[in-house]
A = this chain, B = another copy of it.
Amino acid sequence: MWISRRTDYATRAVLALALEEGDQAIKLDELAQRTEVPASVLEQVMPTLRSAGIVRSERGAHGGYRLNKPPAEVTLERIVRLFQGPLAPIGYATRRNPDPCPDLVARSLRPVWAEVRDATIDILDRTTFAELAARAKD
C-alpha cells in the first residue's frame, strides 16, 4: 500500500487541527497554508473527514473546521483507512475480499504480505493524533 497524496494531506490537516489549542475554528485557507497543501485539494479532503465524523465544520464568516473528538481518540489508522481502503501491500493479501491467487502463492507469499499488513495496521492503530501533536511541538 502506497500512501496517496490525498491521504497524506488529510493526516496533515487533522494534525494541524489537533495542534490548535483553544478549540478555535480554522478556516480552509488557513489550514492549507499551515499544512502546505493546495487549497483546492483540501476542498475535497475536508468534506470526507467531515462526513466520517472526524472534524466538524461551520460555514459563513468566522467559520472553519475543528476536531470533533479529543486528539487522543483519533488514530492514524482511522484517517488512512478512510482515504486509502485496504492496507495490504498487494491485492491478494487484504483482509476483506482478497483477490484470488494461485495455491502456490496462497501457501507461501501471501502469509508474508499479510504479516506486513498486520505490522502496518498495528503501528497506525496505536498512533493517535495526541501523540503526533506532542511530537510536532518539540
Contacts and interface: CB of A to CB of B under 8 A. Distances in A.
A28 B109 CA distance: 21
A135 interface: yes
A116 B108 contact: no
Contacts of A35: 102, 104
A61 interface: no
The 8 closest A-B pairs by CB, nearest first: A108-B136, A2-B2, A3-B90, A119-B119, A108-B132, A108-B135, A36-B102, A3-B89
Interface of A: 1-3, 8, 11-12, 15-16, 34-36, 76, 89-90, 102, 104-105, 107-109, 111-113, 115-116, 119-120, 123-124, 127, 132-133, 135-136, 138
